[in-house]
Amino acid sequence: MKLVMIELAIDFQSEPVRVVVTGAAGQIAYSLLYMVAKGDVFGPNQPVILHLLDIPPMMGVVQGVVMELSDCALPLLRGVVPTADPDVAFKDVDAAFLVGAMPRKEGMERKDLLAANVGIFKVQGQAIERNAKRTIKVLVVGNPANTNALVCSKYAPSIPKENFTAMTRLDQNRATAHIAERLNVSCADVSNVIIWGNHSSTQFPDVRHANATVNGAKVSVSEAIKDDEYLKTQFVEKIQKRGAAVIAARKLSSAMSAAKAASDHMKDWWQGSANWVSMGVISDGSYGVPADVVFSFPVICSDKKWTIVQGLEIDEYARGKLDITAKELIEEREEALAVCQDSNL
C-alpha cells in the first residue's frame, strides 16, 4: 500500500512540535494519538506534527489510523508522517511515546517480555541518537518499561539521561482512583500517592504521604482510611496486580487507561505538575536506590524538567519494599544488557 504524507494547510502562529508515537497500529496508540492531536498533552494552542512508527506488515493499518486522524478534523494537527523507518520516525522530534512492543499474555510476568522487546529499544535509542533533537523527551510505555528506558538511553549517549523516562503513571492513577472510591470522593481530591520502583508486581504503591479532601477538610489518607494494615497489604497487592486483572478480564492488556496515563505523564513533564507525580527516571541514588536503574520516584515537574521529591521518611517497612523492587531492576538491567550485546541489531 502506498503511504501518503499529509501536511494539513492550517496556519498557526506557534511552531508545531514533532511527536513520535511508536506502535502506532496498536491498541494504546489508537487512544493516545487522539489525545495528543487534540491538545491534551502539549496544550490547547500548540500545533503538533505526528510521526507514526510501526513495523512494515502493519503499515496498512497505520494508513487507516492516518485516515481517521484526518477525519477527526482536529485544528491543532499540522501533519502526519507514517513510516516503518526509525530514522524517519525520530527525525527532529521533540517528544517520543515509545509504545510499540509485544504486550504480555495471561500468566506471564512483564519481565518475560524482556528478551522479545529489549532489541526494539536498542534500535530506537540508536535512531534517537542519529536523528532527534537533543532536547527530546522520551516516555517509554512498552514493557518492561523501566529497563527498556534504560536501554534506550544507553544507545543514545549524547542525549541527557534525564530525558528518558518510563511510565508508572498508570499505577499512580490506579492507586489514586482506588483510594478515591474507598473514600467516596473524586480522584481530584486525592493527592501525592507515590509509586516507587519498577512497573511490575514488585512496585511499591505508597500512600503514607498522600492526602485526601473529605467533607471539605484535607486529611492524610491513612487518617481517612483508618486501616493501615489494609493499606500495607491488600491495597499494595491490588495495585501491583491490576494489570494482570485487566488482562484476565479483557483478554487484552490495558489500553484506554494506559493512553490516558501516557498523556498525563507527558503533559505534566511538558507543562508542569501541580502535585507530586510518579515517573520512572534515572536513579541518582536518592532514598538509597542504586544508580543506573530507571526507578519510579515521586517527582515535581517545572520548566520541562523533573526533580525527585526529597526528604520523605523511609521506615523499615518502606525500606524493605524499595529494596525488593530495586533488586529486580538490577537483575533486569543485567539480563537486558546481555541480550543487547548478544544481538546483532
Ligand X SMILES: NC(=O)C1=CN([C@@H]2O[C@H](COP(=O)(O)OP(=O)(O)OC[C@H]3O[C@@H](n4cnc5c(N)ncnc54)[C@H](O)[C@@H]3O)[C@@H](O)[C@H]2O)C=CC1
Q: Is 65 near ligand X (CB under 6 A)?
A: no
Q: Compute φ and ψ for 199, nearest 5 degrees.
A: -80, 75
Using the Cα atoms of residue 231, residue 322, residue 188 and residue 256 in order, give the sign of their dihedral.
negative
- Whichever of 37 and 246 has its CB closer to ligand AKG, that residue is 246
User: Of ligand AKG, ligand X, none, which one does residue 28 interact with (CB within 5 to 8 Å by kind)?
Assistant: ligand X
Candidate segments 60-68, 72-80, 82-90, 242-250, binder of ligand AKG by CB under 6 A: 242-250
Q: Is 190 near ligand X (CB under 6 A)?
A: no
Q: Tell me which of 145, 277, 289, 326 binds ligand X, using CB under 6 A.
A: 145
The C-alpha angle with vertex 20 and arms to 294 and 250, in degrees rounded to 5, equals 70
Strand, coil or helix: 215:
coil
C-alpha cell at 309: 521529591
Determine the Cα–Cα distance for residues 104 and 106; give it in Å rounded to an integer: 7
> Contact at 8 Å (CB) between 94 and 137?
yes
Using the Cα atoms of residue 296, residue 302, residue 307 and residue 313 in order, give the sign of their dihedral.
negative
Q: Tell me which of 147, 192, 254, 325 binds ligand AKG, using CB under 6 A.
A: 254
Q: Is 208 annotated as a binding residue?
A: no
- Whichever of 16 and 243 has its CB closer to ligand AKG, that residue is 243
| Residue window 107-136: x/- pattern of binding to ligand AKG, with contact defined by CB under 6 A | ---x--------------------------
Kindly tell me the burial class for residue 181, based on how many C-beta atoms sit within 10 Å of its own C-beta (0-12, 13-18, 19 or more): exposed
Q: Is 253 near ligand AKG (CB under 6 A)?
A: yes
> Contact at 8 Å (CB) between 302 and 72?
no
Candidate segments 100-108, 125-133, 221-229, 333-341, binder of ligand X by CB under 6 A: 100-108
Residues within window 238-297 making contact with ligand X, judged by CB under 6 A: 253-255, 258
Q: How far is the CB of 155 from ligand AKG (least distance, A)?
A: 23
C-alpha cell at 292: 543506573
Determine the Cα–Cα distance for residues 141 and 170; give it in Å rounded to an integer: 10
Q: Is 176 near ligand X (CB under 6 A)?
A: no
Q: Is 52 near ligand X (CB under 6 A)?
A: no
Burial 300-316 (b: 16+ CB within 10 A, else e): bbeeeebebbeebeeee
Q: Is 143 near ligand AKG (CB under 6 A)?
A: yes
User: Is-catalytic flag, 199?
Assistant: yes
H helix intervals, 226-315:
228-232, 234-240, 242-250, 256-271
User: Of ligand X, ligand AKG, none, which one does residue 101 interact with (CB within 5 to 8 Å by kind)?
Assistant: ligand X
3-state SS string over 63-90? HHHHHHHHHCCCCCEEEEEEECCHHHHC
Q: Is 131 near ligand X (CB under 6 A)?
A: no
Q: Is 54 annotated as a binding residue?
A: yes
Determine the Cα–Cα distance for residues 202 and 182; give it in Å rounded to an integer: 23
Candidate segments 102-110, 274-282, 307-315, 323-331, binder of ligand AKG by CB under 6 A: 102-110
Q: Is 277 annotated as a binding residue?
A: no
Determine the Cα–Cα distance for residues 79 and 331; give it in Å rounded to an integer: 41
Q: Tell me which of 16, 47, 82, 103 binds ligand X, using CB under 6 A.
A: 103
Residues belonging to the binding site for NAD(+) are: 54, 117, 141-143
Please give the residue ranges that form the binding site for ligand X (CB under 6 A): 22-23, 25-28, 53-55, 58, 99-104, 120, 141-143, 145, 167, 170, 199, 253-255, 258
For the annotated catalytic residues, the residue numbers are 199
Residues belonging to the binding site for substrate are: 104, 110, 143, 174
Please give the residue ranges that form the binding site for ligand AKG (CB under 6 A): 103-104, 110, 143, 170, 243-244, 246-247, 253-254
